[in-house]
A and B are shown apart, each in its own frame.
Chain A
């Protein structure tokens, strides 16, 4: 059975066609009802606060990514949604129902575990059927739904195998099928692609998005991998020390990080410390000793005169040249200390006079190496007025 025909059988009448999602960002609409409400949730383990007063609204059909390093509290938050941990304080409301005191086996939520947690003693079919049998469904219906689901993840031919006879990618699909077959309102995925190799990850990423759009299930994904979050998510919540630092669409998280932590955690970034010397509603001028230059941004920020700020510039937003460019601002000078040719692009590490190290990436547009720079080359780095972000936090 093709994946498209699955929609008719799998999605219930109340699910919105997923295609409409990209056109309208639900979370931007006034008065939209969130599907999952996390209200002031905290979780303490003894003295340690794993999740600190987190509030978050997630809407129907979203693919929300919780992104953070280890110990950032993202997994704890996920486990609270699944019901394996009870919040110390705060409320979790799924589809209008307060989840307090509702046991994991009674929640309209399924989880895909990082280790996949497939039952080793059961075959692929039996693994997928496990959840349906607990619902007390008839044998015929269980069989039909299991087959549908296995066909969707393209494992129909491997139903009789045991998990240890499958490859990593196949196991991942079984785990996905098993967590989706009960038609949960909310699917939680804990590092869904963590155990796969790079190539398989990329394929699976897109497959996951397709499945999510077809079935119209709300996904909450936990990951430490920013690339994974970028490609998968409709929105990303960046977590650090149990707090959600920024919630935004992937593009905004990358281009408009709201803090140094987010800027540095998502992608790589060059940060120049400096002081505001002139601020207007439509531009800011910053004097940076580190960069030995005046930095200029063509948007206003809320800051005090002479306030210490950081300017963040992504490595790919910078241009590199041997000749001094015409622009006075946003131009620094340094020496190429190291470079790495990576095929599609070249990464340079440039040391400024102040000792500050700057990372620049350049696409390799032509095949010849004449455009590239080498060790000890004196270069100018410069960027547009709208390419950088000023961070006050």
Chain B
């Protein structure tokens, strides 16, 4: 027994080191006083100060948050609808087709998604003049397309766990089908929707590849700014920025997981 737990502990700690050592190094170096990234010069918060004085980075961060917020919100609406249809669609062939369609963005290489979206936007612009040029709106559309796939999968799995007699019970008690969704179904899948939103938000915030394809001049998201800065040489300022991004993403993902666990707990207790 003891042996086994020792083995498990070793494996777990090695896994954690493997996953988190780079990030820890990054976080530690973000507090480095020295201007040289790899030379330790004592603790300091000065690069965080520098960061907030850098307008390019602040603008990019604001843009990223705006894009993430809008695309997560749109993705949640569309993804919930898709997930709903998926779980209620019983005809096997149609369902296969639909679930294939919805999960394609999950497995597609980002480069291909980005490229195909770029081609589509260019073609659309030349065909009927919209979207005029590439910028914030094209990034949002691109992010919605892959985020809604995640939302759809989460919502679908939640709906498939849901007891269908709940809807019958609501009808039996006098709820019309039109109000049924808002009275019963929506509150029940709310945890899934919230975790889908949080996940979409972080995915959108993280995305570099797709955004690079579909963004226009003057519309650089935060990951794009970081990437371009790093290409000119790693600066301690970027370390500070990356640390902040890790914090935001970690909070988002943790919140999403917490939501999902809470929902699982609620379902577990049901007979």
A interface vs B, CB < 8 Å?
Answer: 82, 84, 103-105, 109-111, 113-122, 130-131, 134-135, 162-165, 168, 171, 178-179, 182, 195
Contacts and interface: CB of A to CB of B under 8 A. Distances in A.
Given A119-B184, A120-B188, A168-B271, A113 B169 contact: yes
Given A84-B171, A105-B175, A113-B168, 7 more contacts: A103-B171, A104-B168, A117-B163, A119-B188, A120-B188, A121-B188, A130-B170
Contacts of A195: 271
Contact of B168 (A84, A116, A130, A165): A84
Give the size category of B's interface with A: 20 to 34
A116 B169 CA distance: 9
Given A120-B270, A164-B270, A82 B172 contact: yes
A165 to B, nearest CB: 8
A82 B165 CA distance: 13
A120 B162 CA distance: 10
B19 interface: no
Given A117-B163, A117-B165, A119-B166, A178 B173 contact: yes
Given A120-B266, A120-B270, A115 B163 contact: yes
Nearest to A114: B165
A120 B188 CA distance: 8
A64 B266 CA distance: 35
A131 B173 contact: yes
Nearest to A195: B271
Contact of B174 (A115, A162, A182): A182
A115 B165 contact: yes
A111 B174 contact: no
Nearest to A110: B172
Interface of B: 163, 165-166, 168-176, 179, 183-184, 187-188, 190, 265-271
Given A119-B184, A120-B270, A105 B176 contact: yes
B271 A105 contact: no
Contacts of A182: 173-174
A116 B269 CA distance: 13
B271 A104 contact: no
A163 to B, nearest CB: 7
Contact of B166 (A117, A135, A165, A171): A117
Contact of A111 (B169, B175, B176, B179): B169
28 contacts: A82-B168, A84-B168, A104-B171, A105-B171, A105-B173, A105-B174, A105-B175, A111-B168, A111-B169, A113-B168, A114-B165, A117-B163, A117-B168, A117-B169, A119-B187, A120-B166, A120-B188, A120-B267, A122-B187, A134-B174, A163-B270, A164-B269, A164-B270, A178-B173, A179-B172, A179-B173, A182-B173, A195-B271
A162 B190 CA distance: 16
A171 B271 contact: yes
Given A119-B166, A164-B269, A131 B184 contact: no
A251 B169 CA distance: 34
Contacts of B172: 82, 104-105, 109-111, 179
Nearest to B188: A121
Nearest to A109: B172
Closest 6 CB pairs of A and B: A164-B269, A134-B174, A131-B173, A117-B169, A117-B165, A121-B187
A104 B163 CA distance: 18
Which one of A114, A120, A168 has the highest number of Cβ atoms from chain B below 10 Å of its Cβ?
A: A120
A110 to B, nearest CB: 6
B33 to A, nearest CB: 52
A270 B166 CA distance: 43
A178 B166 CA distance: 13
A131 B174 contact: yes
A116 B166 CA distance: 9
A121 B190 CA distance: 10
Given A105-B174, A120-B266, A182-B173, A115 B271 contact: yes
Nearest to A181: B173
A168 B270 CA distance: 10
Nearest to A121: B187
Contacts of A168: 271
A182 B171 CA distance: 13
A115 B162 CA distance: 12
